[in-house]
Amino acid sequence: MFKYQSCLLISENSGRIKLDRVPTCLGLFYDYEYCPSCANLAIINCTVIEKAKGKKVKGDAFEAVEDLLAVEEMLSISINGEPYTITMRTPGSEKALVRGILLTEDIYTRRDAHPNFIIQNKNNLGYVTEVNIEIEKQDVEKGIETKRNLMSVTSCGMCGLQETDLYLGEQLENEETLGSSKVQEMFETMRLAQKTFKKSGGSHASAAFDLKGKLLSIQEDIGRHNAVDKVIGDLLLQGILDQAKVIVVSGRLSYEIVSKTYKAQIPFLAAVSAPSSMAVKVAEEAGICLMAFCRGDQFTVYSQEDKVI
């Protein structure tokens, strides 16, 4: 059992959660390492999980259980002091999540600079619940006009939009190809890094790779679209978005995931589960190679088929 520990070695840019004291009673799970400068324990990775008691039923038998559940909490996002949206997500990587949303929602698409990210409030567990993003007025783009209505839930990144435009834009220019064997390797790499899913079975994951299969970013969240936004935002904050050529996701593929991939200008998109008909249609029009049912050494290419060799 861990006792209360102070933590000085926390990188704000990485989106890692900072708690001045880490009480074991919260039921959260952390990876620790010793800080070389202060010799205190530091949180290097936070698997945000809480314990829940229940009664398991199997036939006529009943059993008291204590399960681990992925955390879902509200995050209120304001832009220049004006409410923009409330999104339900898994706490952690808030800066990456918001940075990804700003790009994929066409609010702030610059890649060479980042707006000021201010934490406004945390709850009693230390989760960030309110943030404000400061953007110069001349840099706020047209996406701000399509404000989300009240709340974006974890299952639907487009829910709450007052207006939608399904046309993404001109087709991506992509002359590169992806080796079929790399797809399986990428999903295996992502699977091994899914710490929250391993403990709870209740989170999605997304990861970005280059064409050689090098992992550039991996993020987990209870919402599929949040995981993708976190990856894109993390790539932006690292300054390596242009290196990302493939995004893989753990769930199904819908229009919203294709849209986010397009906004990040990433030409390959792959998922464990099925695509929607709209996802396939829009991916073909946008020049994105869409792969689905990626399980083991099998998958199906639904658009830009010649890009997989």
In the chain, where the domains are located: 1-47, 73-152, 180-307
> At 33, which helix (H) or strand (E)?
strand 29-34
Give the tens place of pLDDT for each residue, 141-162: 999 887 555 455 445 555 544 4
Give the tens place of pLDDT for each residue, 33-71: 433 344 343 333 455 778 889 999 999 999 999 988 888
Give the span between the Cα atoms of 198 and 220, in whole angstroms: 11
Band of the pLDDT at 297, cuts 50, 70, 90? very high
* Whether pLDDT at 20 is above 70: no
* Whether pLDDT at 304 is above 70: yes
pLDDT given for residue 150 in this prediction = 46
Q: What are phi and psi of 233, to 5 degrees?
A: -65, -40
- What is the residue whose two structure tokens read 């259980």? 65
Give the tens place of pLDDT for each residue, 199-255: 777 788 999 999 999 999 999 998 999 999 999 999 999 999 999 999 999 989 999
Contacts of residue 221, Cβ cutoff 8 Å, sequence gap at least 6: 89, 90, 97, 154, 203, 204, 227, 230
* Whether pLDDT at 272 is above 90: yes
Give the tens place of pLDDT for each residue, 95-132: 999 999 999 999 999 999 999 999 999 988 888 999 99
Which positions are annotated as active-site residues?
156
- What is the residue whose two structure tokens read 């399980």? 295
CA distances from residue 171 to 232, 238, 263 in whole angstroms, order as listed: 20, 26, 11
Residues forming a β-bridge with 148: 161
Region at 239 (left for phi over 0; alpha for psi -120 to 50; beta for the rest) = left
CA distances from residue 29 to 17, 25, 224 in whole angstroms, order as listed: 12, 11, 22
CA distances from residue 209 to 32, 122, 224, 235 in whole angstroms, order as listed: 26, 33, 17, 10
SS3 128: strand
CATH hierarchy code of domain 180-307: 3.40.140.10
Mean pLDDT of 265-270: 98
Taking the alpha carbons of 301, 280, 285, 263 in that order, is the dihedral positive or negative?
A: negative
Query: Contact at 8 Å (CB) between 152 and 85?
Result: yes
**Checking DSSP bridges between strand 204-209 and strand 215-221, what pairing results, if any?**
antiparallel
76 C-beta neighbours (distance < 10 Å), count: 17
> At 129, which helix (H) or strand (E)?
strand 128-134
- Which amino acid, 267? P
Give the tens place of pLDDT for each residue, 83-99: 999 999 999 899 999 99
Query: Contact at 8 Å (CB) between 22 and 2?
Result: yes
pTM score: 0.81
pLDDT given for residue 26 in this prediction = 36
- What is the residue whose two structure tokens read 């699977």? 191
Could you tell me what percentage of the chain is helix, strand and coil, using 3-state DSSP and rounding each to the nearest 5? 25, 35, 40
Residue (of 284, 250, 249, 242) closest to 266 by Cα position: 242
- Which amino acid, 43? I
Tokens of 73: 């909490």
> At 82, which helix (H) or strand (E)?
strand 82-89
- Say which residue, 294 or 153, is predicted with more confidence: 294
- What is the residue whose two structure tokens read 């083991």? 296
